[in-house]
């Protein structure tokens, strides 16, 4: 879907700038161009579409329905399954996260999507099946969905809405005011469009610095951290290998398809599969660039709680994988 963006990044770095493909700097710059364009495109499309949806579907009614009706966890399952069919990395998932929050979706349900989306998608499933077989792939997919659901439920129970930034709260307030105006004046779509467009530009302007800084950090890590750097900490003789590898993976930044070949190499070198999978989950589900992007919508305390809950769930999953597999 995004091959054309990769082609543009390749042309700029390798043809226009004449940089060699083996250079760490060229790899980091290529990654920066590709991810920045992709995320801004996703932000624009998703926020625009969510603006249209929100203009017709009352935010307060959606929020009240999800909070008052007993769905017995089905909403978290649906959010996690939606994460499975969206082929995004952790940073690319954030545009949808903003759209969900803007649309009045409960924070815990939104977190369930944010956790699952980078971990499990059709590309990762296909690669996982080819590298490790159907049994391990099935266990991984189920664990990824359960991880998203459990994290979302825990985070919802903590009632963390108060830790959203004033910027997000202002967007929510404006969205509800605009919607009331749309409904009371029975405005046509052509009349609503300028307001929706202005809101899109406002949100894009607000997140611009965070996207650029976050992806720049991700590009440097992507280009300069050697893949063998962590192997000595992941030995099967180390009882703390799972939590250590999980924590050390957070500074890295990649999607599932990018890190899976590294996981295969680690397993071939004798690293326990559960430890390697925990490492992979932390790389694709948690990263410093993601934290920087989330800083626009969450306080540091909320980011810390989110990372802490997901990290704990990943560590538990890693140990379970080592016992089962």
pLDDT in tens, 8-53: 888 898 888 888 777 778 888 887 888 778 777 876 776 777 667 6
Angle at 112 between CA 248 and CA 249, to 5 degrees: 10
- 8 Å CB contact between 120 and 155: no
Q: Residue 275: is its pLDDT beyond 60?
A: yes
Cβ neighbour number for residue 280 with a 10 Å cutoff: 26
Higher pLDDT, 6 or 47: 6
pLDDT at 303 over 60: yes
pLDDT for 220 equals 65
Percentage of the chain lying above the pLDDT 90 cut: 6
Taking the C-alpha atoms of residue 48 and residue 71, their distance in angstroms, rounded to an integer, is 29
Question: Whose CA is closest to 106, among 158, 56, 46?
Answer: 158
Identify whether the C-beta of residue 214 lies closer than 8 Å to the C-beta of residue 91.
yes
Grade residue 237 by pLDDT with cuts at 50, 70 and 90. Answer: confident
Bridge partners (DSSP) listed for residue 129: none
């Amino acid at each position: 879907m995004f091959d054309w963006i990769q082609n543009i990044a390749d042309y700029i770095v390798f043809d226009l700038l004449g940089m060699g493909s083996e250079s760490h700097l060229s790899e980091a710059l290529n990654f920066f161009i590709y991810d920045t364009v992709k995320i801004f495109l996703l932000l624009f499309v998703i926020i625009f579409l969510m603006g249209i949806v929100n203009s017709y579907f009352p935010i307060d009614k959606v929020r009240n329905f999800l909070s008052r009706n007993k769905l017995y966890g089905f909403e978290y399952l649906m959010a996690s399954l939606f994460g499975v069919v969206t082929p995004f990395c952790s940073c690319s998932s954030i545009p949808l996260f903003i759209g969900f929050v803007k649309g009045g979706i409960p924070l815990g349900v939104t977190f369930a999507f944010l956790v699952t989306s980078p971990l499990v998608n059709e590309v990762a499933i296909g690669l996982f099946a080819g590298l490790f077989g159907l049994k391990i792939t099935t266990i991984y997919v189920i664990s990824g969905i359960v991880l998203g659901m459990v994290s979302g439920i825990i985070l919802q129970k903590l009632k963390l809405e108060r830790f959203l930034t004033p910027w997000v709260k202002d967007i929510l307030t404006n969205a509800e005011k605009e919607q009331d105006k749309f409904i009371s004046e029975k405005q046509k779509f052509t009349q609503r469009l300028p307001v929706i467009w202005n809101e899109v530009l406002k949100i894009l302007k607000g997140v611009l610095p965070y996207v650029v800084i976050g992806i720049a950090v991700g590009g440097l890590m992507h280009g300069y951290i050697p893949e063998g750097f962590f192997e000595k900490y992941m030995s099967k003789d180390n009882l703390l290998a799972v939590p250590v590898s999980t924590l050390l993976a957070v500074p890295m930044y990649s999607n599932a398809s990018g890190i899976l070949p590294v996981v295969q190499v680690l397993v071939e070198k004798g690293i326990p599969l559960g430890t390697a999978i925990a490492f992979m989950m932390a790389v694709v589900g948690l990263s410093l660039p993601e934290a920087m992007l989330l800083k626009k919508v969450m306080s540091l305390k909320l980011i810390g709680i989110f990372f802490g809950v997901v990290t704990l769930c990943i560590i538990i999953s890693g140990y379970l994988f080592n016992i089962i597999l």
